[in-house]
Amino acid sequence: NATQNGLDAATFDGVDNFMSLDSTISVPDAGSYFFFVVKMSGTGSRSIIGGTNGADLQIRVDGSGNLNVLRYDTEDCGSSSGASMDDAAWHVCSVYVSTTERRFRIDSTNRGTVTVTTGGSFTKWSKLGSKEGSTEWGSIVLGEVLHFGSDIGTTNRDAIEAALNTKWFTASVVDA
pLDDT value at residue 176: 46
Over residues 4-25, the pLDDT tens digits come to 888 999 888 777 777 777 666 7
pLDDT value at residue 118: 60
The radius of gyration of the chain's CA atoms, rounded to the nearest angstrom, is 15
pLDDT value at residue 165: 94
Global confidence as pTM: 0.84
Q: Which of 169, 116, 155 is nearest to 33 (CA)?
A: 155
pLDDT value at residue 125: 75
CA distance 2 to 10: 6
pLDDT value at residue 84: 76
| Regions of the chain short of the pLDDT cut 50 | 174-176
Residue 158, SS3 per DSSP: helix
